[in-house]
Structure 1
Amino acid sequence: MIHRLKVLTWNIRQGGKKAILQIVDSLKEHRADVIVLTEYKQNQTGAFLTSELRQAGWHHIQSSDPPNRENGILILSTYPLETCEVPFSNEHGSHRWNEVYLPTHHLFLLGVHVPNVNETYDKQFFWEQILEHSERRSGIRSIVAGDFNTARSDEKKRAPKKYSNFIMKMEANGWTDAWKQIHKDTLDYTWYSHKKNGFRLDYIFLSPDLSGRLTECCLSHHERIENFSDHSLLIAEIR
């Protein structure tokens, strides 16, 4: 019987570049069952990453197949994965959306990287897709994780929170912000600007059926402090 699921999400900054060895070592150390990596690039560095982690036990891997030089999403799992269809086209940036089904847990997992306002793809469109997804999956065990490039309006005054209302709409649909549920009003951040101004941009959201099963949610800042990436890791455990 499977008693828990440990999920990790991390923006590895432009595919990992020169820190790829440290990124691989960090992921091995955290030993999550399922890993969602944003800003994954399908190049030589990406091939090294997938090869190393496959050998380390993450035998089930699904890429969002990002175009050359663009950022995508890589999902790695110690459990079998089944592919789910992307609900929109390449023109809207479908490589920033990667959903899988874990039959061992009867659970859907969506990895996302919401575009920022100054990027090619439309941020509002992505948020609308996530909200529609949360409505479709509200009655099923489901997780949405990744980099949302959005801060909660109830956490920080000066933050990229223009689309924060979508987070509130997800919560109105019964979804849980894992970090918020565990840490309540404690403020901590997943990304810091060059001016050392912090924002919480990375999230793990749980569907209504999973919210009561959350046992832990934490951030690992070591990797960001050591400059392996400009984002911290976010980890949640579900029984």
Structure 2
Amino acid sequence: MQTIKLLTWNIRQGGKKAIEQIANSLEAHQANVMILTEFKDNPSGGYLKNYLQEAGWPYSATSHPQHKENGVLVVSRTPLKQLEPPFPNEQGSSRWNEVYIPHYDLSLLGVHVPNVNEKYDKAFHWEQIVSYAKQKTDEKCVVAGDLNTARREEKASAPRKYSNFIQTLENDGWTDAKKNAAQGAPGYTWYSNRKNGYRLDYVFLSPALNGNLLACHHSHDERVRNYSDHAIVTARLTI
């Protein structure tokens, strides 16, 4: 039995001018595996990958986002194997990054669900996540990233459309790490200039990892410093 620390963070449009601070922050958290959403395949993205490789995360996989598209980057201290997405780029496969990490015998899906006003179909992406989760019920598996969906019990102004899919994951035995660790207190991971805060970023653990969660934490310091408009989510579990 070993301990793994996971981290997921929406780095806001590829990091832009805050990319150095983002890289430094990620190094400071010392996670074993990191899932970064809104990654872009541009000079900032290249800088981030190179920095993390030299800092101790030599293994990485990107979702190959096209020009100016948002993608998902997964970096790891140990080797990983990337798997092909189950749907084509025309349906937003750059928002989907599935890897297998042999050292932990762990399947991991990094996702960035489109919002309702984006060109990709939000419901379709959620259907793909739920389908994937059903296939991984008996395996050690994590689904993490920006789900762009608030839980149904959160305030009325939150983006709760398709929150039924979150309930489906839980009904199927998946653990919402933050809800489990915080005894139901959701907190928020995204905060707007209008003083609206919603929990949009999640770590879900498969039924095979039930009882393995040690802690889940939201780090808001990076958001307060305006490196991104999202907080970092970390989860520690035995595996």
| TM-score (norm: length of structure 1) | 0.98
Shift of 1:169: 0.3
Measured after TM superposition, the shift of residue 156 of structure 1 is: 2.5
SS in 2 for 1:51: helix
What SS class does the counterpart of residue 73 from structure 1 fall into?
strand
Taking only aligned residues, the RMSD between alpha carbons, in angstroms, comes to: 0.8
> Conserved in 1, the CA contact under 8 Å of 2:144 and 2:204?
yes
The runs of 5 or more residues in structure 2 that have no matched partner are none
Partner deviation per Cα, 1:9-40 (whole Å, 9 max, x = no partner) = 00000000000010000000000000000000
Q: CA deviation at 1:84?
A: 1.2
Contact 2:98 2:107 in 1 (8 A): yes
What does residue 175 of structure 1 align with? 174
- In 1, the alpha carbon distance for the partners of 2:99 and 2:210 equals 19
State the number of aligned residues.
238
1:161-213: CA deviations, max 9, x gaps?
Answer: 01100000000110010000010232410001211111000000000011210
1:92-129 deviation per Cα after TM superposition (whole angstroms, max 9, x unaligned): 00010000001111110000000000001000000000
**2:88 matched to 1:89?**
yes
Q: Which residue of 2 aligns with 1:210?
A: 209
Worse-matched range after superposition: 188-197 or 30-39? 188-197
Partner of 2:41: 42
Range that drifts further, 150-159 or 13-22:
150-159
State the secondary structure of the residue aligned to 1:83: strand
CA contact (8 A) 2:39 2:73 kept: yes
Partner of 1:106: 105
CA distance, structure 1, for counterparts of residue 69 and residue 119 of structure 2: 11
Contact 2:136 2:206 in 1 (8 A): yes
* Cα distance in 1, alignment partners of residues 154 and 206 from structure 2: 22
Most deviating of 179-188 and 23-32: 179-188
What does residue 26 of structure 1 align with?
25
Write the distance in 2 (CA, Å) between the matches of 1:142 and 1:185.
22
What letter corresponds to residue 129 of structure 2 in structure 1? I
Q: In structure 2, how many angstroms separate the alpha carbons of the residues matched to 1:17 and 1:37?
A: 14
2: CA distance, partners of 1:34 / 1:187: 23
CA contact (8 A) 2:179 2:186 kept: no
Q: Following superposition, which runs of at least 4 residues in structure 1 exceed 4 angstroms of deviation?
A: none
